[in-house]
Structure 1
Amino acid sequence: MAGHSKWKNIQKRKNAQDAKKGKIFMRHAKDIYIAAKQGGDDLGTNAALRAAVEKAKADNMPNDNIDRNIKKATGTLDGATYEEITYEGYGPGGVAVIVHVLTDNKNRTAADIRHAFKKNGGNLGENGSVSFMFNRKGYIVIENADGSTDEDTITLDALEAGVEDIVNQEDAYELYTEPDNFQEAVDHLTANGYEIADGEVTLIPQNYNQLSEEDEEKMMNLIDTLEESEDVQDIHHNLEESN
């Protein structure tokens, strides 16, 4: 994993999405809905819901919206029923792509995802066609733009927290855990005074794919097209983006 900064890619995408507040709120709403649906409405015991709510609040999502989606998920408020679906396929140049969606109309969503791939030089595959190329990991970012966080100190604290791997990316430390240990690691690091810039249980590529300038542009267009769908929750890929 060393040498590949997932954080830099996240920052690029977040900057590009700043103008899409409506869609960002919609995705937060779905994250909250599914976390509450799976683990209940207690933020104290449901780590996934707690993380989803914290992310929503960081993007200034109103508390009423947050509460409404928790109630919808737990059956105390009428609303649409959502279904989780995962699509796998290849983008331009053979980049592996996994798309997680949450939809109340799977036929509409399937057509949208298929069109996005076809329009941008990719193709959908069967379930399992690319997922073996990724590992499920807890991912934590601690920013260090000012260089104030000593590498030896954070390494020791990370090991005590059960972190498996830590990568110094100059402006940030990227930490990787087993999925089941993610929340415990976050809590331990927070208790030791570290501010978590980003954190989630996600898919990490085993290897990265470099593309020509032309194919990378097509791949970024594919990502943009997928992100325009209100049903898309997450997009994972193994593209090594150029600087």
Structure 2
Amino acid sequence: MSGHSKWATIKHKKGALDAKRGKIFTRLIKEITIAAKGGGGDPDGNPRLRGAIAAAKAENMPADNIKRAIQKGTGELEGAAYEEIRFEGYGPGGVAVIVDTLSDNRNRAVSEIRFAFSKNGGNLGETGSVGYMFSKKGVIVVAKSAADEDKLTEIVLEAGADDLTDEGENWEILTSPKDYEAVMNALTAAKIKPEHAEVTMISSTYTKLEGTQAAQMMRLLDAIDDLDDTQAVYSNFDMDEESVPA
């Protein structure tokens, strides 16, 4: 991947999530539940569940919470029936936005997402209106101070990474979703701790906003992120790092 640094917006997103730890737990429990429901309760045979459990452990979620979420998914315990709903739309400046939700009330989810878009200079689009611009990728950000380029390149490419690029103070590693876990395991074995790591949706092109439009776009992303049904928000929004709110 070439050219466009997303680290500024990644850092903002990470900071926003760090400030909402209770919400993180709720989202992780939902993800574990839906993963267990769709692929069974054994993480060894269910990659989505394995990834959800790893994310929960990274946030220090108690083992009992993880177990109960799995049991709700497999039907051993009673729990809410969540539906996966994806929304696509546009933010200020024509920025493409995808919102993944897990909801037990479709009408509420649609209403709240539409309101968040319209209040913050955006609008909902049709299914497929922006999705074609995105592909699912593992993104791992490693500080340059944590690893030598040649050593890091050898480690991650041998483990199956697609690319490693220079993003200023950091290296950005891209993987396919299926190779993400192997690359993360290789970094762990080499005692290299990433600054940020996730499987996300990466756009083929990015739209840089400045000033009022950038601020409005940040408000839109925050408004969507604050909704109870929201699991993840993706966009092709880019801005200069100095524009990121403290």
Deviations 1:156-199 (A, max 9, x none): 22221121110133433221122232223333343344334443
Could you say if the C-alpha distance between residues 104 and 187 of structure 1 is closer, same or farther in structure 2, counting changes exceeding 3 Å? same
Distance 2:5 2:37 in 1: 32
- 8 A Cα contact 2:146 2:193, kept in partner: no
Consecutive unaligned residues in structure 1, runs of 5 or more:
none
Distance 1:212 1:8 in 2: 13
- 8 A Cα contact 1:36 1:49, kept in partner: yes
Q: What's 2:30 paired with?
A: 30
Q: What's 2:180 paired with?
A: 182
Could you say if the C-alpha distance between residues 40 and 230 of structure 1 is closer, same or farther in structure 2, counting changes exceeding 3 Å? same
- Residue 184 of structure 2 aligns with an amino acid whose one-letter code is V
Q: Does 1:19 align with 2:19?
A: yes
Deviations 1:203-231 (A, max 9, x none): 11111101231111111111111011111
TM-score computed with the length of structure 1 as normaliser: 0.91
Greater CA drift, 121-130 or 14-23? 14-23
Could you say if the C-alpha distance between residues 196 and 242 of structure 1 is closer, same or farther in structure 2, counting changes exceeding 3 Å? closer
Distance 1:71 1:135 in 2: 31
TM-score computed with the length of structure 2 as normaliser: 0.90
- Where 1:44 maps in the other structure, the secondary structure is helix
Distance 2:190 2:19 in 1: 35
Distance 2:98 2:137 in 1: 15
Residue 9 of structure 1, CA deviation: 2.3
Q: Matched residue pairs, number?
A: 241
Residue 205 of structure 1: which of 203, 206, 225 is its match?
A: 203
Residue 3 of structure 1, CA deviation: 4.0
- 8 A Cα contact 2:210 2:239, kept in partner: no
Q: What's 1:81 paired with?
A: 81
Residue 148 of structure 1, CA deviation: 4.1
Q: What's 1:152 paired with?
A: 150
Deviations 1:84-109 (A, max 9, x none): 01100100110000000000100000
Q: Does 1:129 align with 2:124?
A: no
Distance 1:70 1:108 in 2: 25
- Where 2:238 maps in the other structure, the secondary structure is coil
- 8 A Cα contact 2:8 2:239, kept in partner: no
Distance 1:226 1:242 in 2: 22
Q: What's 1:236 paired with?
A: 234
- 8 A Cα contact 1:47 1:183, kept in partner: no
- Residue 78 of structure 2 aligns with an amino acid whose one-letter code is D
Q: What's 1:163 paired with?
A: 161
Q: RMSD between aligned alpha carbons? A: 1.9
Could you say if the C-alpha distance between residues 101 and 148 of structure 1 is closer, same or farther in structure 2, counting changes exceeding 3 Å? closer
- Where 1:138 maps in the other structure, the secondary structure is strand
More helix by share: 2
- Residue 218 of structure 2 aligns with an amino acid whose one-letter code is M
Could you say if the C-alpha distance between residues 58 and 159 of structure 1 is closer, same or farther in structure 2, counting changes exceeding 3 Å? closer
Greater CA drift, 215-224 or 12-21? 12-21
Distance 1:22 1:129 in 2: 33
